[in-house]
């Protein structure tokens, strides 16, 4: 498969931008490649660095605010015993899965969109040669102003929660639910590289991440509009505008763990990037990959469509880190090291 030909390609090591480039080469260690539409403003990485008793900890994020993914590196500040034993890391109460490299450890964690902002803790523990080491680091997570949309909706017969579906449809929905549980239960090896890509060849967001959709529900009875209890839903991904057949690209390297048509999602692809990080792509017209296949960031994996529960052609993309939804585009800011 080819890398995107539409995009700007940013090589962080040389800080050069090549428009309309076409490259099949994998960047060498230390080179960070970003592939994105020319109208997209690539976000910068914001760093936090600690140095404490033999280790240096680097955190990088598009912003240390709700709904972003964070990249973590733990390296020794000398030839310390950090390499001699296992190491554990937690963000608040959630484990951070780490991968060991010759230079140290790396991992990723989510700043949940629905967790209160404020001071947060990162705890790093390892058994040294002489005694256990424990480091508790703190940093601040700020509030993200997610957008809110209101719309009226005639619920009609669907206001009745007992509205029956055909038995074969209900059976299919249950099958789809089991397939998703199976896919997201994977804990594959860390496959992420320094190649990260925008999932579309145009940047046109029609529904932002974690926007609140407030449905002011009503039904018509005897010609009169009767208000029903309103309903709020969070949008757990990003919707991009597209025409049927437009390309869909993988955000990052990974393994396909689901590529199938499901009831709600339509033609649905799930990529396991390793260490409980998944991206998934909904409503596609066609799926161009198969289960078990390895893909690279920027590989074409499908086309835009309107399958499943969808009102028109678009691409819905989500990024999940250890069970927590984050803004998929926030990964593009991370200086991931091989």
Provide the token pair at 213: 């959709």
- Give the DSSP per-residue string, 244-308: TT-EEE-SBSEEEEEEEEETTTEEEEEEEEETTEEEEEEEESEE---TT-EE-TT-EEEE-B--S
Query: CA 279 to CA 328: how far, in whole Å?
Result: 8
Q: What is the 3-state secondary structure (H, E, C) of 167-184?
A: HHHHHHHHHHHHHHHHHH
What is the reported pLDDT for 130? 72
One digit per residue, the tens of pLDDT, for the chain of length 338 reads 433 334 455 544 322 232 233 332 233 345 889 999 999 999 999 999 999 888 899 999 999 999 999 999 999 887 666 766 679 999 999 999 999 998 899 999 999 999 999 999 999 998 776 778 899 999 999 999 999 887 765 656 544 444 567 899 999 999 999 999 999 999 899 999 999 999 999 999 999 999 988 776 677 777 777 777 777 788 899 999 999 999 999 999 999 999 999 999 999 999 999 999 999 999 999 999 999 999 999 999 999 999 999 989 999 999 999 999 999 999 999 999 98
Using the structure block, give the residue that is written with the tokens 């593009």: 332
For residue 200, the model assigns a pLDDT of 98
Asked if residue 264 lies in contact with residue 176, where contact means CB atoms within 8 angstroms, the answer is yes
What's the pLDDT score for residue 156? 63
* Three-state DSSP state, 231: strand
First to last CA, the chain: 21
Q: Catalogue all structural domains in the chain, each as residue range(s) with its CATH number.
A: 46-141 (2.60.40.1230), 167-207+237-330 (2.70.70.10)
* Rounded distance between C-alpha atoms, residue 319 and residue 241, angstroms: 18
Longest dimension (CA), the chain: 80
């Amino acid at each position: 498969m080819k890398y995107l030909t539409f995009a700007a390609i940013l090589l962080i090591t040389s800080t050069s931008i090549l428009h309309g480039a076409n490259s099949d080469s994998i960047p060498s260690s230390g080179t960070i490649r970003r592939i994105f539409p020319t109208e997209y403003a690539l976000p910068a990485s914001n760093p936090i660095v600690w140095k404490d008793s033999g280790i240096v900890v680097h955190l990088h994020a598009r912003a240390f605010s709700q709904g972003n993914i964070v990249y973590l590196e733990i390296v020794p500040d000398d030839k310390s015993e950090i390499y001699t034993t296992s190491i554990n890391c937690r963000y608040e109460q959630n484990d951070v899965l780490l991968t060991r490299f010759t230079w140290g450890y790396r991992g990723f964690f989510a700043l949940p969109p629905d967790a209160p902002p404020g001071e947060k803790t990162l705890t790093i523990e390892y058994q040294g040669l002489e005694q256990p080491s424990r480091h508790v680091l703190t940093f601040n997570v700020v509030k993200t102003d997610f957008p809110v949309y209101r719309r009226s909706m005639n619920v009609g017969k669907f206001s009745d929660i007992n509205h029956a579906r055909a038995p074969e449809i209900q059976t299919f929905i249950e099958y789809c639910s089991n397939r998703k549980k199976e896919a997201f239960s994977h804990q594959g090896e860390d496959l992420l590289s320094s190649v990260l890509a925008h999932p579309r060849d145009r940047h046109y967001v029609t529904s932002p991440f974690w926007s609140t959709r407030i449905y002011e529900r009503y039904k018509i009875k005897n010609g009169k509009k009767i208000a029903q209890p309103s309903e709020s839903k969070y949008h757990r991904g990003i919707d991009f505008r597209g025409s049927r057949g437009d390309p869909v690209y993988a955000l990052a390297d990974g393994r396909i763990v689901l590529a199938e048509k499901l009831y709600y999602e339509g033609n649905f692809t799930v990529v396991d990037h390793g260490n409980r990080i998944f991206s998934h792509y909904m409503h596609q017209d066609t799926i161009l990959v198969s289960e078990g296949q390895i893909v690279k960031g920027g590989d074409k994996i499908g086309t835009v469509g309107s399958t499943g529960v969808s009102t028109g052609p678009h691409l819905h993309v989500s990024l999940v880190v250890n069970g927590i939804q984050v803004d998929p585009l926030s990964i593009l800011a991370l200086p991931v090291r091989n």
